[in-house]
Structure 1
């Protein structure tokens, strides 16, 4: 199979899924260093990975509706790709792809295709179940004759971001970063439970640091946690950027978070992640490299809300029901925190 001269990658969001595309970019670059890679990506997501070398980025402003699509199509006017990797099945992305000219239009298998996805592609990735999202995205190179044999990220982090992170806390204590808010509200844990875990970490000699974006929901969650903490943590909510957040992940020892973008960002730099999973399956969407520190109540959630074990429901099903995260008890999280402490002290 001849090397393609040009490849268009379409994955506009979300932050976590965008990190899963980065290993695929490296796989393509290693195999075909002369190929032109173009990545259509969301505005926020570009701030995280838009400085990857060897990639031409085209920003899709999702909030602009049809005008945003027209901007992308105008930016690609006159261009035709050897292959389009259509890695997002949402209706908006499927419609966006109609304006991208490509000989080969590679998309998901029948089981994972939805929202008219099958109408905008002419090839499919292998049909597999039980894959992590990163593995599914990595398989988009297989119809091109490649295999993603290595997973690496190497997302650039500017020196000024590292310098900023270095100023936020001293190096005299291990640091527990707490990113408490998911974009899916039903994946969020209770603020009083976060506060209890953070107070426990304080008693164990750790510094707890609250992080998150500037949105009202994230600020509200941070304030609710702060109001319940006996020992005030360092509050950096709304004070960072995506690159500064990456730099903080390089400095800390552990991240506590529900299934969210920061979970996957932290994973790219090797930070241990204490993920909170009840609404989603960590085997599919948890931190890819190391899920030892996660609390997994997904099977308990499927049994309670669907009446079946996780093994008997479709792969990737989400149990985003009110109260589902209450299946995760404070003691479950403290047990995983203590496991991290034991591991760190033995090294």
Structure 2
């Protein structure tokens, strides 16, 4: 281990988004804190992501609001004026993040290896991770820590939930319930959402067989609101609709106390893993071995290999690691019986996800 690694005192992490990714980064930050308990850790983070992680012990947050563009970058730079870090962990490959990094002064500027890098990130760093072509997203984050001499990479989150969120959670629902977050982010060619008929069938099944109330979560986008309107019509069971009506801390509390969280490849799957709740992830357009929940993978419905074969016309071993399937037909490969089987397995298990893993 180098002399520098034994004297790290001031560390900057640059990771702005997204909700699932910042959840996955927290265990790496905890590992860093265990290795360097006296170090000052500053995390430059996005606005929404900060609202999820605010109060995280031992971390100073600098918030960047991407809606403000260059003015927002300058605001971050002003807050960091006069500071020079021992190391900058540049953990987001987007060009916006790299431009933001120009105002962060550090002796060492570490970025991803060429295989995992994009948008010219290598021009903004002076070190890169060792090559690693495959692995879960969280392993990429731990690779940064290993480069700093961190060996204890156990999973630990401890994301705080304030009393105000606890109170709001109990106002929404009491008794046994599960979370359905039906929509992923509304981006072009995303195609991660399952069928409305599928969600409706599972809501009725969970109510009839397990007595679980259905709590719908998500944002207030037109896409989400339209899907939920259709979903409510197709369900025989009543649902509790919280879309656009909870902050992220309240959502975290709801997820923590739920029996199950069902969602496509999106933030709530990773929030569930962080809170020890079974994540019933629905995956076809992305590889859950890379972007699925880091714990509870046995409960994921994985139709990614079939989607690669049918939509891309290739076997799994002939596509690059992390290849997306951008085809609107892919998620229809997930059958209702596939999801029922995962729900049954979760409900049959007496242990929490954290105890199992």
TM above 0.5, yes or no, is yes
Residue aligning to 2:40: 36
C-alpha separation in 1, matches of 2:294 and 2:134:
13
State which drifts further: 146-155 or 115-124: 146-155
For residue 17 of structure 2, what is the aligned residue in structure 1? 13
Deviation at 1:344, TM superposition (A): 4.4
**Equivalents in 2 of 1:308, 1:88: separation in Å?**
30
Kindly indicate whether the alpha-carbon contact (under 8 Å) linking 1:24 and 1:148 is maintained by their aligned counterparts in 2. no
* Distance of 1:114 and 1:23 partners within structure 2: 24
Q: How big is the shift at 1:206?
A: 1.9
Counterpart position of 1:308? 314
Q: CA deviation at 1:167?
A: 3.0
Instruction: Please tell me whether the aligned partners of residues 178 and 209 of structure 1 are also in contact (alpha carbons under 8 angstroms).
Output: yes
Q: Secondary structure at the match of 1:112?
A: coil
Q: Secondary structure at the match of 1:58?
A: strand
Task: Decide which moves more: 142-151 or 112-121.
Answer: 142-151
CA contact (8 A) 2:178 2:261 kept: yes
From 42, 47, 50, the counterpart of 2:54: 50
Contact map agreement 1:124 1:143 (CA 8 A) in 2 = no
| 1:74 Cα deviation after fit | 1.4
SS of residue matched to 1:322: coil
Please report the RMSD computed on the Cα atoms of aligned residues, expressed in angstroms.
1.6
Q: CA deviation at 1:150?
A: 1.2
2:133 maps to what in 1? 129
- Contact kept in structure 1, 2:115 and 2:133, CA below 8 Å: no
> Which SS does the other structure have where 2:347 is aligned?
helix
Aligned to 1:177: 179
What TM-score do you get using the length of structure 2 for normalisation?
A: 0.93
Aligned to 1:140: 144
| Matched length | 344
> Which residue of structure 2 lines up, in the alignment, with residue 329 of structure 1?
335
TM-score (norm 1): 0.95
Structure 1 partner of 2:75: 71
Question: Which residue, 270, 277, 282 being the options, matches 1:271?
Answer: 277
State the distance in 2 between where 1:62 and 1:165 align.
29
Contact 2:218 2:224 in 1 (8 A): yes
- 2:93 is equivalent to residue 89 of structure 1: yes
Gaps of 5+ in 2: none
Alpha-carbon distance between aligned partners in 2 of 1:304 and 1:334, rounded to the nearest angstrom:
23
Structure 1 unaligned segments of length 5 or more: list them.
none
Superposed CA deviations along residues 67-94 of structure 1, whole A, max 9, x for unmatched, are 1111111111111111000000011111
Q: How far apart in 2 are the matches of 1:165 and 1:57?
A: 26
| Pairwise CA distance, 1:46 | 0.4
Contact conserved, 2:44 with 2:63, CA < 8 A, in 1? yes
Cα deviation, residue 148, structure 1: 4.3
Q: Distance between the aligned counterparts of 2:313 and 2:173, measured in 1? A: 47
Q: Distance in 2 between matches of 1:245 and 1:33?
A: 30
> In the alignment, does 2:160 pair up with 1:156?
yes
